[in-house]
Chains A and B, each alone.
Chain A
C-alpha cells in the first residue's frame, strides 16, 4: 500500500468535525498519525489546540475513536509510562502534544521518560507557541516572532531569543528512534510514523512542524506551502535518528533563504534585515551541526 492509498483507506480515528481552525495542519497530522498507529492505540493529549478542538471529547463523548486521556501540561510523558506499564507492549501508547506542553511545561517528565527508555511514542506538533490560549510565545517560537507576550511596538520587537531546538535536545537522550516530520512531506511522514510504530525496544520521539494560520497570520489555504517552505529553508530540516544513526531523509543541497518564509506571514512582518540575518545564521549553524552528526561535513 503506498502512502496515498494508506491515507485514503485506513480508518480515520478522529471525530469528523473538530473545531480546529480552517486549514490547521495539526488536524491533518493527527488524522494521519492515527491512520498509521491504528485502533490498538491509547492516546494522551494534554491541553492545547488539539484538546481544545474537541479531540479529547466533551463530557460523555469522545473526540477520538480510540481511548484518549487529557493529561496535564506537565505530566504527559509520565502518564504514557503508567499506561504502558499497565497494558504491556502490544498496545501502542502515544502522546500528541503541542510545543508548549513539550518544550516548556512537560519537559521534565518528557526528559525523564526518554532517559528511562520507556517503550512509548511521544509526538510533539510544533506550532511555535501557546496558540489555543491566544498565541503566547513558547521556548519553541522562532526569534523575531510577534506573539501576544512578545508584542511589537515602540519597545518590543518580537521574541528576543532563538528557537529551542527540541528535536536535537531529545536526540541527545539516545532514544530508540527520533524523527522530524512535516505535513508537507506526507510520504516521508507516513514512513517515519510506521517506523515509530514498529519500534519495540525503547523511547520514540517525533517532532512535527505545524504552521498556525490563525496565530502566525497567513491564509489557511497556504498551510502546507508554509510547512514546505520551512523545510526548503532549513528552518525545519527533515531527519531521523535510528538507534543513534543520523540520517537526513530529505537532503537539502540548495537551501532557500529564510527571508522567503518570513515574507509569508504577519508574525514576521516587522522583522528588520538584521533580525532576519540573525535567524539565517542560527539556521545555518544548526544545519552544520546536523550535517556533522550525519557524518557529511
Chain B
C-alpha cells in the first residue's frame, strides 16, 4: 500500500488469530429465502459477509459464529447450525 506518511511495521505482518476455530455454531444462509437486502452485511462484526455476483455470501474464514447475522436478518434466511453438521 502506498502512503504519503509513515508505513506501519504491520506491513511486515498483520497480527491475526484463527477466530474461525472459536465457532460452535456456523451461519448457513438459505439463498431462496434471502431477499438481498444486505442487512446482515452491515452488522457482521468480523466483516465476513459480502456481495458477490449480486448474491450475499458468508465467508467462514474468520466468522466467530456470534449469530448476529441470523438474529438481524428480517427474513430469517440465516440459520445457526452446529459446527460439523451439514
Contact = CB atoms under 8 A, between A and B. Distances in A.
Contacts of A65: 1, 8, 10, 14
Interface in A247-269: none
A66 interface: yes
Contact of B66 (A3, A12, A31, A220): A220
A166 interface: no
B81 interface: no
Interface stretch (A21-29, A94-102, A169-177): A21-29
B6 to A, nearest CB: 5
B62 A64 contact: no
Interface string B10-34: 1111111111001000000000000
B70 to A, nearest CB: 7
A183 B54 CA distance: 25
Nearest to A14: B47
A20 interface: yes
Interface in B54-80: 61-62, 64-68, 70-72, 80
Contacts of B70: 221
B36 to A, nearest CB: 10
A272 B9 CA distance: 52
Interface residues of B, number: 40
Given A18-B19, A221-B66, A224-B71, A63 B14 contact: yes
A252 B3 CA distance: 43
A223 B38 contact: no
B38 A27 contact: no
B82 interface: no
Contacts of B38: 4, 8
Given A221-B68, A224-B68, A61 B17 contact: no
A277 interface: no
A57 interface: yes
A37 interface: no
A8 B42 CA distance: 8
A224 B43 contact: yes
A138 to B, nearest CB: 22
B67 A220 contact: yes
A14 B1 CA distance: 14
Contact of A19 (B14, B17, B71): B17
A64 B22 CA distance: 21
B43 A17 contact: no
A67 B68 contact: no
B72 to A, nearest CB: 6
A22 B46 CA distance: 9
18 contacts: A7-B41, A7-B42, A8-B38, A8-B50, A8-B51, A16-B47, A16-B61, A25-B45, A31-B45, A42-B6, A62-B11, A63-B15, A65-B1, A65-B8, A67-B5, A67-B8, A90-B4, A221-B71
Given A17-B18, A61-B13, 15 more contacts: A8-B41, A15-B15, A17-B17, A17-B62, A23-B64, A23-B66, A40-B4, A40-B5, A42-B6, A61-B15, A63-B14, A67-B5, A67-B6, A68-B10, A220-B67
Interface of A: 3-4, 7-8, 12, 14-20, 22-25, 27-28, 31, 39-40, 42, 54, 57-58, 60-68, 87, 90-91, 183, 186, 219-225
